[in-house]
Amino acid sequence: MFIIRPQALTKDNFAAFGDVIETTERDHFLINDGNTQRFHRLADVQLSSAEDNAIISIFRARSLKMPLQIKMVERHPKGSQAFIPLRQNAFLILVAEAGEPPAPEQLHAFITDGTQGINYHRGVWHHPILCCNQIDDFLVVDRSGPGDNCDEFFFDQGLQIMLDPASTLEKVTNR
Reported as a single tens digit per residue, the pLDDT across 4-61 is 999 999 999 999 999 999 999 999 999 999 999 999 999 999 999 999 999 999 999 9
Q: What is the domain-level CATH number for residue 151? A: 2.60.120.480
Cα–Cα distance for residue pair 60/82, rounded to 1 Å: 14
Q: How confident is the model at residue 168 (pLDDT cuts 50, 70, 90)?
A: confident
Q: Which residue has the higher pLDDT, 99 or 169?
A: 99
- The DSSP output letter for 16 is T
Instruction: Give 118-144 as a 3 state SS string.
Output: EEECCCCEECCCEECCCEEEEEEEEEE
Domain range for residue 66?
A: 2-173
Residue 169 Rama label (left phi>0; alpha psi -120 to 50; beta)? alpha
Query: Residue 170 has what pLDDT?
Result: 64
Count of domains for the chain: 1
Q: How confident is the model at residue 127 (pLDDT cuts 50, 70, 90)?
A: very high
CB atoms within 10 A of CB 37: 13
Q: How far is CA 130 from the centre of its chain?
A: 9
